[in-house]
């Protein structure tokens, strides 16, 4: 498979991307890929530094005759989202990915591909390595931990970089230039629960919701996909009231920025209610599959016999928990008035997990309007405070306010039109690009985000469009040549 990917055009990008797929790099575990990038820069004889939080900066002097051009920062993040299909034996901290070509797309077998943001990293590496591309002074900024907190961007210090133009290569539609993004906040709720013994005369089941598409909690939130935590909670809430269901454990979702695809619960039911409960499960399954049939054709909901748990979550906490999850907002809250088709405000009920007498719930809130994000925080706070849970917010990052008068925007529009015969679309994105944070540290930067076409990031269905990578690369090379 190595030769198959490396024979794709442009070879100078694909060879580096393939190398990245062979290096484990989930968020918070970027040590191996950071060492790889540092070794790459130093072997080229380029100035290579690692800052105090673990970002890598590599500097390359201007091509002959280009010394007076404005300095450009090529920026991409090293980490990737680790998601895999059920039954895929993959350890993201140890195992290489298994990429393959499927028609015009590159995918990975059973896992996320890491094209978000591996293609951007590979493109920056190709520029650094090239002896033929014309460019002014270049600094490549490889940040860490973009997917789980943007701590690399937050930790970057002012004064480290001298360029004036930031080219962020982390958007996912070729032919579009992004000039703004949403800000975000993590909502963290916690219930402290007691444990009670299992009453006599109960039967145990393991409930499973799976087969959902998941996806990026910003880019895909408007697609109406199912949220496994919400679907599972619907079953639990109804069955608690109708059939005396008691909850022993719950485990749904794994990443705050991925729409949850799978959720599980261990429950017990009075033996005399067993058949009524299974009939109820069949009805709810039918309802949910019918409601989501157009977007989630592979949804599966199962109740299988399980070993009897030793203890249960106390009844009061269970009731408060299920009410809170049912009431917690999820999905698109409001569309943008200024940019038709763009989500303004949303929230993703990402994680529900019980362990060690605690139940933790995490949502990721996004909005391009700060006051709307604050209002959503207060809405979620009110739900969990009413239920008696602790609720905190962290990981706040600011949005990136669009600047339609950006000089680099004008340059890139002209370059794209001249090369491809059309003017690229100008957009903002309902996701957390690092530009918002980086622009706060370097407020004079002129910034653009662009990239190849990537579909279903943050899910095992992730794929990158091969022809779009070629156009993205050609556009990047021509842009560098035309920097003022």
| Residue 297: Cβ within 10 Å count | 10
CB contact burial 127-162 (16+ within 10 A = b; e otherwise): bbbeeebbbbbbbbbbbbbbbbbbbbbbbbeeeebe
DSSP annotation of 26 reads B
Widest CA span in the chain: 85
- Cα separation, 298 vs 290, in Å, equals 11
Residue 51 annotated among the catalytic residues of the structure: no
Q: Which two tokens stand for residue 5?
A: 């990917």
- Cα separation, 345 vs 342, in Å, equals 9
Q: What is the DSSP string of 182-231?
A: -EEEEEEEEEE--EEEPPTTEEEEEEEEE-----BTTTTGGG----HHHH
Residue 164 annotated among the catalytic residues of the structure: no
Run of H or E including 394: strand 390-397
- Cα separation, 424 vs 344, in Å, equals 22
12, 30, 145, 146: the catalytic one is: 146
12, 79, 280, 296: the catalytic one is: 79
Backbone angles phi, psi at 229, to 5 degrees: -65, -40
Contact 21, 82 (CB under 8 A): no
Active site residues: 79, 146
């Amino acid at each position: 498979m190595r030769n198959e990917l490396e024979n794709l055009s442009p070879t100078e990008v694909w060879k580096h991307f393939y190398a990245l797929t062979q290096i484990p790099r989930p968020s918070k575990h970027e040590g191996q890929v950071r060492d790889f990038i540092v070794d790459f820069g130093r072997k080229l004889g380029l100035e290579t530094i690692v800052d105090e939080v673990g970002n890598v900066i590599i500097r390359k002097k201007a091509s002959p005759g280009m010394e007076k051009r404005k300095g450009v920062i090529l920026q991409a993040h090293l980490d990737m989202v680790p998601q895999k299909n059920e039954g895929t034996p993959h350890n993201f901290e140890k195992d290489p990915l298994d990429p393959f070509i499927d028609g015009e797309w590159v995918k990975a077998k059973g896992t996320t591909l890491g094209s978000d943001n591996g293609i951007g990293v590979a493109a920056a590496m190709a520029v650094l390595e090239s002896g033929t591309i014309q460019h002014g002074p270049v600094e490549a900024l490889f940040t860490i931990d973009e997917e789980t907190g943007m701590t690399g961007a937050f930790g970057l210090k002012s004064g480290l970089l001298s360029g004036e133009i930031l080219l962020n290569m982390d958007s996912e539609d070729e032919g579009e230039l992004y000039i703004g993004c949403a800000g975000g906040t993590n909502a963290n709720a916690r219930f402290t629960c007691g444990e009670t013994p299992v009453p006599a005369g109960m039967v145990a089941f393991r409930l499973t919701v799976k087969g959902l598409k998941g996806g990026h909690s910003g880019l895909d939130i408007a697609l109406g996909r199912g949220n496994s935590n919400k679907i599972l909670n619907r079953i639990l809430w109804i069955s608690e009231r109708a059939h005396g269901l008691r909850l022993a454990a719950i485990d749904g979702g794994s990443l705050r920025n991925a729409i949850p695809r799978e959720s599980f619960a261990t429950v017990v039911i009075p033996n005399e209610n067993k058949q009524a409960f299974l009939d109820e499960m069949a009805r709810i399954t039918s309802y949910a599959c019918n409601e989501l049939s157009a977007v989630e054709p592979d949804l599966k909901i199962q109740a299988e016999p399980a070993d009897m748990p030793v203890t249960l979550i106390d009844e009061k906490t269970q009731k408060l928990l299920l009410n809170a999850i049912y009431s917690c907002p999820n999905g698109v809250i409001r569309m943008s008035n200024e940019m038709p088709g763009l989500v303004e405000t949303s929230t993703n009920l990402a994680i529900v997990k019980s362990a060690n007498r605690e139940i933790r719930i995490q949502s990721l809130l996004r909005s391009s309007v700060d006051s709307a994000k604050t209002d959503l925080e207060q809405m979620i706070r009110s739900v969990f405070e009413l239920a008696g849970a602790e609720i905190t917010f962290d990981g706040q990052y600011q949005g990136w306010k669009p600047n339609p008068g950006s000089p680099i925007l004008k340059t890139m529009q002209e370059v794209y039109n001249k090369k491809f015969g059309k003017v690229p679309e100008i957009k903002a994105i309902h996701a957390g690009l690092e530009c918002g944070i980086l622009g706060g540290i370097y407020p004079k930067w002129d910034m653009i985000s662009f990239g190849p076409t990537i579909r279903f990031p943050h899910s095992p269905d992730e794929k990158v469009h091969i022809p779009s990578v070629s156009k993205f690369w050609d556009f990047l090379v021509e842009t560098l040549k035309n920097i003022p």
